[in-house]
Amino acid sequence: MKLNYKRTILVGFAFFLISAFWQAYDAIVPLALTNHFGLPQTISGIIMSVDNILAVFMLPIFGAISDKVMTKFGKRTPFIFVGTVAAVLSFILLTVVNGIQINALADSGIIDRYNAAAEAFKNTSEGLKSSLDAGILSQSAYNSAIAEAESIFDAVKTTLKEDALALTLENIWPLVGFIGVLLIVLIAMATFRSPAVALMPDVTVKPLRSKGNAIINLMGTAGGIIVLALSSIFGISKNPYMSYTGYVIATCVVMVAGLAVFMLTVKEKQWSDDMEKASRDLGLEEAALDDGQPKRALDKAEFKSLMLILASVALWYIGYNSITSKYSVYSANVLGVDYGLTLIVAQAAAIISYIPVGIVASKFGRRKTILAGITMLATAFFIGNFISAGSNMLIMYPIFALAGIGWATINVNSFPMVVELAKGGEVGKYTGYYYTASMAAQIVAPILSGALYDLFGMRAMFFSFGTLFVVLSFVTMFFVRHGDAKPEKQGALESLAGADD
């Protein structure tokens, strides 16, 4: 039994375009809210959490709806096509509405004042550097003068944000329009996320879904990396008052290109039929369909395992998200170091691990592999408790590499365990269950961890909180008894491995 890598990669273009969108969304929307509209970080954070709140309710609904839809293009493809088109059009419209506020900022003189302050800071910095190089200034005098120049520039930027907020309150309609279009964008994305993710299990026999999920994760990473490169090309962080229209259009071109490849190559209905036939031939499909409906629901033991898996998903997401969402603050305020490279190390380790951990799970089982991943993640977070401001930064790299490998091990195998329990044509519904657990956890994590940081201090609670919840997920996952793949039968389904489509 071998995974058809070609089919899986092509199906992965749906997740590719989803990841491309979120990379751009997370990059520009907070900047627009805080810089263009002058909103405080708290209000901006609340607005940024709307996508997770919508996801908790909408992903299970649209996953279940897609289970019951059948067209000549399949169950999931219509949602992916319509949702992507709607998301692309509304995302571009979002920048048009944002442009109204940018014009207001220009008319009020805020942008000119920023440009003048930025130019003054640049000239001052260059002059001080020349004086340092010429020996006119000592290093200490240079450091003091640069710090003073930065302080003046920061004060100007703070004043300009206050003026931007006053401008927003004076005419609230651009912000109302921005939030309204933002809701349309988020709803459009929520309509097809579950169907897109459910498509991989639809066309992949159960024992191969961990490997398939590894490929899907790699495709998502590729989409994110391309848009991340675009953000550097467009320089979206260089000017706080720039228009993001060009960047968003470029991102939408990437999304449309991914959609075009998907629509032209993926034969959902045929591939799904192939998977169902192969599953019957191997005795893997326990819930054969009668008129499109499953014959039986989960029994008591299976339902218990599903609840334990979803509890595990919620627990490890709370632990992991509490670290990743606040690590930039912890590294700057507690450790006094730049956080960027350690996260890159973790991400690189995860990327390298995706395919190997999928292979390992097919040999030793998903549950055991996940327990090993939880152990690695908990160990990395526990060691993090002993890292202080005076610690050698080189220690951080293997710790974050271990965390990246542990997270990849968990992430690649947990979703297939959930959909393994799906009976008959309910993969979309169970995909929604998975995302409900993970999204709810990502809403809870920053709130709960932030409250404890305020009560007991960030230094004491940061890694301790993450470690505790990851360890708790080990306990719930330990008692799971269903959702693992049946052992692979070598020699079967070779035709699914590399056949031309």
Q: What is the third-level CATH fold of 299-484?
A: Growth Hormone; Chain: A; (1.20.1250)
Residue 489 is encoded by which pair of tokens? 């039968």
Residue 188 is encoded by which pair of tokens? 């459009």
**Read out DSSP for 443-477?**
HHHHHHHHHHHHHH-HHHHHHHHHHHHHHHHHHHH
Distance CA 118, CA 313 (A): 46
Long-range CB pairs of 274-279 (<8 Å, 24+ gap) are 274/203, 274/496, 275/202, 275/203, 275/204, 275/205, 278/205, 278/493, 278/496, 279/205, 279/206
Distance CA 362, CA 111 (A): 57
Q: Model confidence over 455-478: pLDDT tens digits?
A: 888 888 999 999 999 999 999 999
Q: Which residues pair with 289 in a beta bridge?
A: 294
Res 492: pLDDT: 39
> For tokens 């029994």, what's the residue?
299
Task: Please state whether 319 falls in left (phi above 0), alpha (psi between -120 and 50) or beta.
Answer: alpha
Which percentage of the chain shows pLDDT scores above 90? Answer: 54
State the average pLDDT for the chain.
Answer: 88
Q: Does pLDDT of 298 surpass 80?
A: yes
| Whether 210 contacts 412, CB under 8 Å | yes
| Whether 445 contacts 317, CB under 8 Å | yes
Distance CA 183, CA 329 (A): 28
The pair phi, psi for residue 486, each rounded to 5°, is -75, 150
Res 288: pLDDT: 43
Using CA atoms, how far residue 185 sits from 95, 260, 328, 360, 468, in Å, is 12, 20, 28, 38, 36
**Read out DSSP for 23-54?**
HHHHHHHHHIIIIIS---HHHHHHHHTHHHHH
Q: Region 172-184: what's the mean pLDDT?
A: 96
Res 290: pLDDT: 42
Q: Does pLDDT of 291 surpass 60?
A: no
Res 299: pLDDT: 87
Q: Model confidence over 77-90: pLDDT tens digits?
A: 999 999 999 999 99
Q: Hey, where are the domains in the chain?
A: 1-285, 299-484
Task: Please check whether the two domains, 1-285 and 299-484, share a CATH topology.
Answer: yes
Q: What predicted TM-score, i.e. pTM, was given to this entire model?
A: 0.82
Is 1.10.1060 the CATH number for 1-285? Answer: no
